[in-house]
């Protein structure tokens, strides 16, 4: 029987026989010491097993280069302080070793960080090219202090000058403890053989670089309201990208105008220009500068008439993209929106004069507000035109498009403009802009998309637009909560011939104006298409697609009324439309929870869709070119 100070035999039975034999009859403190020692040995052994187990995981079998690429992709693009990478070192020993020993993950140097952390990043970069940034105190940095002890930081950077690839510096008057210009030059005047990208915004900086120190520079961005460069010493001929903001030029100087700068940029592919002081009463210049290498010009924030005067002096190649995003000016009195954007002669701008696809969107939610004008034009057919994203009611552009968009996503010609002169007449915006299109775009346009308040566009404007684009093959009109009752008359043949005789495909998306469901518009459309068939030289449309969109909770024309009246009223009208085109599609997007839609299948038999839910976000256009579904519109008296 065990003693009073020993462990009971029934407890020891839980241990293996060999261990139990060693502990029987031992005092309690001896058993405790033995168990503690044995437990430590087991933990060490378990750790070894865990290490071996971890080595079998998929992440361990990845080549280190791929794992590092994954970490780089997961790291936020604007993580210049390396916050995410630093936190990731705490995941496990493998991550820590991989991150610390990968120089490419430590190449972003944010000068707002502590000097000892900057020094640590520079050391861990270990031979890789580095990027230096002092951010603009806005956005994510708005609440952060951006004061930098530059006398202490500059000496840390200069020994690594041969590896500096990117520099982006913003220094305001009240920032950085009033950094002396001489300290800036400590960094900017040393040889920077690897520097390919430089962005400067430093109040009061007089900058006269040595061209030999910047022989690799390809991308240059200058805020000329803060920086005064010596243009003669800038390596302009080797630049492929140039961004200038708020330029100030000195008369009779070697570079007295933006044309002088551009003329020296023999290799320029991208040019962004913001702000342009120009005499709006000056005559259009006769000199034209050719930019054969240019791929994209982006003009933003230029005052009225500044843009067309500059563009009138440029000759662009066919592949060049042109993006215009002017600021709004409350002093504007010009009512023609394109007059303040484009020169009168667009023959030197292929993105405009040779455009084959054109889209104009007018966003005018409130008549008292200024409408937003968006124009897309492309010389070639791209994925954008095939996917047709504008058909979605939620379609909108990202706020920084096209500046941050992939190059292939940027159209040949792009405009976004808040048209202040139309304030109070915003609902007439589409009519206003349609009257201008033919003055700038040419007969090369084959696809035209119009979206806005179509019900206020008169017959004369529709006819003028059709006449401006005689080679039109595809036409899509999207009414913003309205129909387009004046449009059909513009399709009718005249004494001059058939408008847009090559027209093959027409898509109309509309919301009925009255309980009649815009029946008269459809009847007028049928009449116009019949007349085009009968006239000499006329032809039949290849396809006609209609989408009727009643508004949810519309008391005048509710979805239930659509469902109840479609079969009885619109059958004859839709039947007659079907007879004058090769392919006909009609859809009624009820935006409701269900209903009863009668349809005609391809074989002519009728089918019922009783009780079938019609989801609000269902894309009714996906099979537009694949099937011919037939339903009826709504009518309560012709």
Strand partners, 586: 546
| Together in a domain, 24 and 95 | no
State the average pLDDT over residues 315-342: 81
3-state secondary structure of 70: helix
Among residues 321, 374, 389, the alpha carbon closest in space to that of 349 is found at: 321
pTM of the predicted protein model: 0.76
Residue 541 included in any domain: yes
Query: What is the count of structural domains for the chain?
Result: 3
| Together in a domain, 539 and 518 | yes
Does 471 score more than 80 pLDDT?
yes
Please tell me which residue, 328 or 42, carries the higher pLDDT value: 42
Q: How many Å apart are CA 561 and CA 637, to the nearest integer?
A: 13
CA distances from 355 to 328, 344, 382, 441, 582 (A): 26, 16, 12, 7, 28
Q: What is the pLDDT of residues 377-397, one digit of tens each?
A: 999 988 889 888 888 767 777
Please tell me which residue, 517 or 522, carries the higher pLDDT value: 522
Note the pLDDT of residue 405: 62
| Together in a domain, 37 and 48 | yes
Report the C-alpha dihedral over residues 157, 169, 70, 124, rounded to 10 degrees: 10
Number of neighbouring beta carbons within 10 Å of residue 512? 25
Residue 408 included in any domain: no
Residue 391 included in any domain: no
User: 64 is in which domain, residue-wise?
Assistant: 59-106
Max distance between CA atoms of the chain, in angstroms, equals 125
Q: What is the pLDDT of residues 397-425, one digit of tens each?
A: 766 677 666 666 789 999 998 887 787 78
Does 115 score more than 70 pLDDT?
yes
| Together in a domain, 101 and 36 | no
The answer to whether 236 touches 261, Cβ cutoff 8 Å, is: yes
Could you identify the residue written with the tokens 């027209």?
Answer: 503
Please tell me which residue, 76 or 59, carries the higher pLDDT value: 76
Residue 52 included in any domain: yes
| Together in a domain, 597 and 521 | yes
| Together in a domain, 584 and 537 | yes
| Together in a domain, 538 and 570 | yes
Quick one: CA dihedral 526, 528, 531, 532, positive or negative? Answer: negative
| Together in a domain, 47 and 79 | no
Note the pLDDT of residue 377: 95
Residue 38 included in any domain: yes
| Together in a domain, 587 and 567 | yes
Q: What phi and psi values does residue 561 have, to the nearest 5 degrees? A: -65, -35
For residue 350, the surrounding DSSP H or E stretch is helix 350-353
| Rounded (10°) angle between helices 93-100 and 64-74 | 90
Note the pLDDT of residue 403: 65
Decide the pairing of beta strands 372-378 and 413-418.
antiparallel
Does 203 score more than 80 pLDDT?
no
């Amino acid at each position: 029987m065990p003693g009073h100070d020993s462990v009971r035999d029934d407890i020891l039975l839980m241990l293996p026989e060999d261990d139990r034999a060693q502990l029987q009859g031992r005092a309690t403190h001896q058993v405790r010491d033995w168990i503690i020692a044995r437990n430590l040995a087991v933990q060490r052994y378990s750790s070894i097993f865990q290490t071996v187990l971890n080595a079998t995981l998929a992440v361990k079998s990845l080549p280190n280069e791929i794992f590092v690429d994954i970490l780089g992709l997961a790291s936020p693009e604007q993580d210049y302080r390396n916050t995410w990478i630093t936190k990731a070192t705490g995941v496990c020993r493998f991550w820590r070793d991989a991150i610390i020993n990968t120089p490419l993950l430590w190449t972003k140097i944010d000068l707002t960080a502590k000097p000892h952390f900057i020094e640590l990043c520079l050391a861990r970069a270990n031979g890789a090219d580095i990027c230096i940034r002092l951010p603009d105190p806005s956005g994510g940095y708005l609440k952060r202090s951006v004061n930098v002890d530059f006398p202490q930081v500059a000496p840390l950077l200069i020994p690594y000058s041969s590896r500096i690839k990117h520099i982006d510096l913003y220094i305001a008057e009240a920032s950085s403890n009033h950094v002396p210009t001489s300290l800036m030059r400590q960094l900017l005047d040393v040889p920077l053989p690897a520097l390919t990208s430089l962005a400067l915004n430093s109040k009061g900086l007089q900058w006269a670089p040595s061209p030999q120190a910047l022989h690799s520079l390809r991308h240059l961005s200058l805020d000329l309201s803060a920086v005064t460069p010596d243009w003669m010493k800038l390596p302009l001929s080797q630049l492929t990208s140039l961004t200038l903001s708020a330029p100030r030029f000195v008369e009779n100087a070697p570079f007295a105008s933006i044309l002088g700068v551009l003329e020296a940029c023999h290799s320029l592919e991208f040019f962004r220009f913001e702000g342009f002081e120009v005499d709006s009463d000056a005559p259009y210049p006769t000199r034209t500068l050719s930019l054969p290498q240019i791929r994209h010009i982006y003009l933003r924030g230029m005052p009225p008439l500044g843009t067309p005067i500059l563009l009138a002096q440029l000759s662009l190649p066919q592949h060049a993209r042109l993006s215009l995003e002017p600021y709004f000016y409350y002093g504007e009195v010009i009512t023609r929106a394109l007059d303040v954007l484009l020169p009168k002669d667009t023959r030197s701008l292929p993105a405009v004069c040779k455009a084959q696809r054109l889209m104009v969107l007018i966003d005018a939610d409130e008549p008292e507000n200024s409408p937003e004008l968006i124009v897309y034009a492309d010389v070639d057919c791209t994925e954008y035109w095939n996917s047709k994203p504008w058909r979605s009611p939620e379609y909108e552009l990202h706020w920084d498009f096209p500046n941050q968009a992939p190059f292939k996503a940027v159209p040949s010609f792009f405009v976004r403009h808040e048209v202040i002169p139309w304030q109070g007449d915003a609902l007439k915006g589409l009519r206003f802009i349609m009257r201008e299109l033919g003055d700038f775009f040419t007969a090369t346009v084959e696809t035209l998309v119009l979206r806005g308040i179509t019900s206020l566009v008169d017959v004369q404007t529709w006819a003028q637009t059709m006449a401006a684009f005689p080679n039109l093959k595809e036409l899509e009109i999207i009414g913003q909560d309205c129909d387009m009752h004046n449009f059909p008359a513009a399709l009718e043949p005249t004494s001059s011939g058939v408008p847009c005789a090559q027209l093959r495909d027409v898509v109309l998306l509309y919301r009925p104006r009255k309980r009649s469901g815009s029946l008269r518009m459809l009847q007028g459309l049928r009449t116009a298409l019949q007349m085009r068939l009968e006239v000499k030289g006329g032809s039949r449309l290849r396809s006609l697609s209609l989408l009727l969109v009643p508004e949810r909770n519309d008391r005048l024309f509710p979805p239930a009324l659509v469902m109840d009246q479609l079969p009885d009223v619109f059958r004859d009208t839709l039947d007659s439309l079907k007879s004058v085109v090769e392919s006909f599609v009609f859809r009624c997007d009820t935006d409701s929870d269900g209903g009863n839609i009668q349809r005609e299948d391809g074989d002519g038999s009728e089918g019922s869709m009783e009780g079938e839910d019609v989801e609000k976000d269902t894309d009714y256009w996906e099979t537009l070119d694949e099937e011919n579904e037939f339903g009826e519109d709504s009518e309560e008296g012709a």
